[in-house]
Structure 1
């Protein structure tokens, strides 16, 4: 897959986008088992398991865009459809990819997930991530593209400042998730080590990555943040990190919390800041735009009504194609007749349209002589 870049567009408010890595041995098996279980429980309406090559070759209703091609590294394509709320259908597509390089051990299988609802997305809806992936700590599907970073967990910053700088740079430039850094004023107990993302609504929970700075990293973390991202972090507080391509008028102080108590209680102020940040227009990574295009233009899991509409559209398309072919045949026939008439004028004959009566022909003129005489008109230098 190509390196991540940011387009000039923003993520639509109807879409949910995610990208990560599965470090287990059989990621597609984990997806299939979860989809089968959710369909049996009637959590989702239906799903499809497709080979990416065959899916790309299939005929669809819309003209295919090159960006809708999953690419040569695609391993498998899954589609699922469910009802997020009464009368609101969600369509989601997950594609798994082979790693770009086999040299890096533990790189895992990359996955890209795009989901879109029929109206603006609500954080309380079912998370598309747990539609395809089982919400279990035993299945390692929740690793970010940045090495060593994981959803559903607290990710402590490295000890080395250079590694911290590299990590924050990767997270803000490569990741599709929202990143939050929390400073531990003192070493927390078991309840305090619990991820704060567990308090977030389902659909937002798997869009947020939590980082932790230890008590002794207060100054170094603040220094690196100000140098790399232009934001600071208060001692014992937290900050939502701005992403690459964020709006120029982004106010970092607006998403900074002075105090976060890591005692297992719900950090209401920080959660509100995260929700507010996630509701802002987010920059659309180029690969995310391709995934959304693929979802919209390469959708295969149709309802019966959609199949009927699709069939009617195909009949209309074929009828227009047949009409165009018939018109082309008529034009070709007219052109051929015009050519024959021109040839008849050039040879001085009537093209055989009205053969002369036998009595009108001269007795001494034979068909061979007539043909020889006509052919002789083309033998002169001016002809």
Structure 2
């Protein structure tokens, strides 16, 4: 569970990034910030309508560039379009270095024996997928030996001391979460027999995740290929027992938490600013840390940081999905899903009210 320190450090890092002229030029063109229906904003809007990446993954624009040429409704030849994507590459490189460096502080890195980091899994495949994978270059580059991610301030053209202070504070705050502590405790508890069980799980996955096996399931569609890898890994992890099973599940928890903080929430703060207060949430339902709601008078978008004016939810939330449906009269209604960000209320909230 995240702490107030986690979100304070996230905001501090976002503020450091926001001083970058590269980031400022970049965010000025994002569709949520620029209503123009022409040029670069419209190009990005079309990329987002097909993929959702501009909304959900604003810190990984390198991925948009790779996918855009395959999208039928995206015109990369709009004035300045290709140059914009090229100029945005340092943002993606910087985000990857930061996240990879935080990961490198995990116990046993770079030789974390969990099945999820075996060859060709959904976390290590070289194919495009959701989020940011664990690239082999990042795992073998000695990041765990460095006091801060290398070259990020140079990529973004920002003050090195301010950036490094902020990213170290964020890494320290994540290391102070229960998820990190649980993973560290289980990592220390692994016996030789436990490590053999984890190694055998990786061996089991090898033929199941080879190119031929994945292509036999789905030859073309990226999301289905990724889901096959994810489901296959999950089925093998489910066969583990005892400490190896606990270790693999704990890895998932801390891996997801690092990405949530260092990519998803940080990305929203940098690209779109702090949470907006929604004063009219409707049909608000909560199950654990997950929410569903509708917002009949406020346009929210595919991803956003929000704060509800409702006692049911004291913390800020991250919108993770949306859908539309028609009722019996033909009226169209929206429905959003979101995840609660524990202990974020005072650390993330700004003065923006919708």
- TM-score tier by shorter-chain length is under 0.3
Query: Higher strand fraction: Structure 1 or Structure 2?
Result: 1
TM-score normalised by the chain length of structure 1? 0.23
Query: Higher helix fraction: Structure 1 or Structure 2?
Result: 2
